[in-house]
Amino acid sequence: MMKYSKLMQKCINLAKKANGKNMPNPFVGAIVYDEEKKEIISSGYHKKYGEAHAEVNAIKNANGNTIGKTILVSLEPCSHYGKTPPCTDLIIKSGFKKCIIAMLDPNKKASGGAEILKNAGIEVVEGILEKEARELNKVFLKNILFKKPYVMLKTATTLDGKIALLNGKSKWITNEKARLKVQKLRSKYQAIMSASGTILADNPKLNVRLKNKTSPIRIIFDPNNKIPLNYNVFNNDARVILINNSKLELPKHIEQLNFDGNFDKLFKELFMMGICSIMVEAGCGFNSELIKADEIDEINHFIAPKIFGDGLNFVSGLNYNEINDSIQLKNIKVEQIEDNLLINGKIKIY
């Protein structure tokens, strides 16, 4: 299956080219392959929500050269009528002999494509680079399985885990290249979420300062109505969702959402408002509340070679009696950024 692994990696790389324009649909790439000649005939990916799926684009690009060939797809071909017809129908009609799939579709409306292809006499091979395909579509998986946004927490601390001095000063803990990495992370998430403590302390813009990149939607957690409306986060250069229990007259670009103390309900409401992925940049209090509420899926933790001693922690109030009961990140990746480190890990894997 090694040849299929290499080809499936190409499918996954193709899928990434959508760069988020596919959301809320999954990232999908496809390749039409000639087994006898051992060559790729064509390829395609799902470019934009509502437009042709990856299989359709790959088949179209094959210019009729599909009979007896193999099609590789990073996600099980859909079997239902949505904004486009079922891809299974087109694969069968195109005369493919074999279909290689990375992962099955968790969406019950779209799943079942593999069985349909098998019943049509097409050989189906499943699970090629499944782990990589699931990582690619971690946001889609969380959305479909739980009807909630995928939530990533970004932190930046000293070696001793401080996000600020006791007097609140925090600029800058990390180096310039690490801060550029944060900008790139922001550009990959649909929304950025912060809370009143951080916003009152720093008055951040929470935008993306990269060329040709769109700033994320801002989700501002301020249930006690502490942040003045003239703060940077309320600028009209991006959609704003204000989580606030007060009845305020707000500019048209600011939507208001009430909070009753239930984070599960809050994130489900945000998903209903079209929010698929969120990057959290906040302080100790809000970080801790989200972790305790089990709402964080992934952490990107920047570490600078500084020691503050007394200072503000990035999280608190998590008390465990046994080491094995504590939160253990999985699928760890470590990146050195000059004299800084970035540790990425998952709390939950979908």
pLDDT tens per residue across span 51-106: 899 999 999 999 999 999 999 999 999 887 666 778 999 999 999 999 999 999 99
Helices (H) and strands (E) in the chain, counts: 10, 16
User: Residue 68: CB partners within 8 Å, gap ≥ 6?
Assistant: 95, 96, 97
**Which one-letter amino acid corresponds to residue 148?**
K
**Which one-letter amino acid corresponds to residue 286?**
F
- Indicate which residues carry an active-site annotation: 55
Give the pLDDT confidence score for residue 285 in this predicted structure. Answer: 92
Q: What domains lie within the chain, and their CATH numbers?
A: 2-136 (3.40.140.10), 140-346 (3.40.430.10)
- Cβ atoms < 10 Å from Cβ of 150: 24
Give the pLDDT confidence score for residue 1 in this predicted structure. Answer: 66
Phi-psi region of 38 (alpha: psi -120 to 50; beta: other; left: phi over 0): left
**Which one-letter amino acid corresponds to residue 97?**
K
Give the C-alpha separation, 28 to 112, whole Å: 17
Mean pLDDT of the chain: 92
Mean pLDDT of 222-227: 91
pLDDT tens digit string along 123-146? Answer: 999 999 999 999 999 999 999 999
Give the pLDDT confidence score for residue 83 in this predicted structure. Answer: 67
Residue 23 has pLDDT above 80, yes or no: yes
Give the pLDDT confidence score for residue 167 in this predicted structure. Answer: 85
pLDDT band at 301; cut points 50, 70, 90: very high
User: Residue 265: CB partners within 8 Å, gap ≥ 6?
Assistant: none
Contact between 186 and 238 under an 8 Å Cβ cutoff? The reply is: no
